[in-house]
Structure 1
Amino acid sequence: MVQTYDFVFSFHLVKNILGITNELSQVLQEGDQDIVTAMDLVKICKKQLQMMRDYGRDSLVEEVSNFCMEFNIDVLDMNHMYCPQGKSRRKAPKLTNFHYFHVDFFNTVIDLQLQEINSHFNEANIELLLCLACFSPANSFSSFDKGKLTRLAQLYPCDFSTMDLKFSELKEMVDLSKKLVETKKDKVYPLVYLLIKLALTLQVATTSVERALSAMNIVNNQMRNKIGDQWLNDSLTVYLVNDVFNAIDNEPIIHPFQNMKSPLRQL
C-alpha cells in the first residue's frame, strides 16, 4: 500500500496542506494569543488554500510523478479507468484516474479544509474578534482602535442605543461634557461628569497661575518691592486682563479727577 501512486499522492497532498496551515495551527495553540496576528494568518491560509485548489493541481501531479519515478513506483496514466486497491474493475466506479485524483480527491480534500476554517472563522467572526482585540493591553494597548470599538457596539444593537453611539463621534473633552449635559447623563454619572469638569478647569487654572507668576515678576520689580498686597493684586489684574482694560475709554475715568479741587489750593 505504501508503494502505490494512491499513497504517494495522498502523502504529498497532506504535506502541502499542512505546510500552509502549520503556522496558523501553532498560533492558535498558544496560550496568550495575538488575535490580530491570528486573524491575518486565517486570511492568508484561506487565500493560499484557494490558490492551491485553483492552480496547484499540476504542480502536485508533477511532484508526485517525480517521487514515484525516483523510488520505482508505477505512475498511473490519467486517461485510464480508476481501479481502487483491493477491488475488481467490474465493481469500481466508472471514473478515469484524472477525474478521481483531480476532482474527487484533490478538490474534495481542499474544500473540506476550507469548510473547516470557514466554519470557525467566517467573516462575521473575524470582524468580531478583531474588534475585541482592541481591548488587549499588550504593548501598551497598541491595538486600541476607536473605530473598531464603535463597530463592536454596532454589532450589538440591543445593548447599545443610537444615543450611546453618538458619543463615539465626540473628539474633545469639551464636546463630551456638553453631550453629557444635553443627554442628562451628567445626572446619571455625576462622578464622571465631576472628573471631566476638574480636568477641564485644571488646564485653565494651571495656565492662569503660570501667567500670574510670570506677571508678578514684572509688576513686583525692584522699584515696587514694597507695594502692598491690594495694590499688587490690582496691578496684576490690569496686567493679566489688559485686553479688557485696553477696550475701556480713559476719558470718562480721568474726567472726575480733573474736576476735583486740590487740597493744597483750598489752603
Structure 2
Amino acid sequence: MLQTRQDLQYIDLKIDHNSNGWKMMWEWHKQIEILYILEGQGKCYIEDNEYDFAHSDLFVISPYKLHKTELVDKKGFKVLVIIFNLELGDKFPNMDGIDVLEFIKVNYADYSPMIKLDCTEKERLELVFDRMQTEYNSFPKTSLDYLISLLHILIIEINRIYNKQINVNKKCIDEVDLPQIIVESIGYINQNFKQDLNLTRIASVFHINPSYLSREFKKRTDMTVTEFLNSRRIHYARNLLAKTDLKIIEIALDSGYNNIPYFTSVFKKFVGMTPKQFRNKSRARVFAN
C-alpha cells in the first residue's frame, strides 16, 4: 500500500536515494507513476522490458504495470517519484477537448514508458518538478488545486514531447530514399494486408529471393516484413474495435488473422492490452465524454 499524506490522498511526491545494498521487489498499483532520474544510473524493469537509465531520464508507468528499479553500481541513484490517481485527470480543465492522459490509459505501442529528454525539455520539466516539490512540502499551506494544476501542466509537457518524438520518427521515415522494391513492397502490404500474406508470398509477387527482401526491408525500415504487416493489420483492427460493434473474431478475420489466439497475442504486443480490454476502454471514454 502506498504511503501518502492524509491531506493529499490522491497524489504522492517524494525523492528516493537508493544505494549500497538496496533492493526493490516487483510492484504494481492502480496509480500512475512518474520517475525522474536526478542523479546516478540504474536499471528499470517494466513487465518484460529492461531499460538502462541515467540523469534526466523520465519514466511514465501506466496503472497495473509490473515494475521495479535496480542498482548497477555502489553509487546508486537519486530519483523523483510522483504517484497519482487516474481520477485526478477528471479535475483537469479540458477546453482543448483533449484527454491528456489518453496515452497512459490506452498505452499505445507508440509510447515508450522511458523518455530521453533534450536540454530544453529537461529545463521545462524541471521547472514544473521544482514547483511541485515546493508546493507539496509547504504543509500545512499546501494547495491541492495548485498541485493538480502543476500536474496538468506536467502531463501536457510530456504529451508534447511524445508527439514531437513520434513526428520526428515519421519524418525520418518519410525522408528516407527507399529502394523501389521496398516502396513497392510497402504499397503491396498496405493494399493487401487482409489477405493471407507472408514473406515468401510477397517476395514471389516481385520475383525476388525472400532472404534478400527480408534483409533489405529490415535494413531500410528497421522493421521486419512480418512486423510491418502486423503493424498495418493491428492499426486497422484497432479502429474497428473502437468504432464498430463487430465481434472480435470478425475483426480478426477481416484484419487478416485466421488464428484468433495469435491475433490476440499480436494485438497485446502492439497495443499493450487484449482486443477486449481495448474495446472496453475505448467505449468507456466515449460514454465519459
TM-score by length of 1: 0.21
When you count strand as a share of all residues, which structure comes out higher?
Answer: 2
When you count helix as a share of all residues, which structure comes out higher?
Answer: 1
User: Which protein is bigger by CA-based radius of gyration?
Assistant: 1
- Structure possessing the higher relative contact order (Cα contacts under 8 Å, 6 or more residues apart): 2
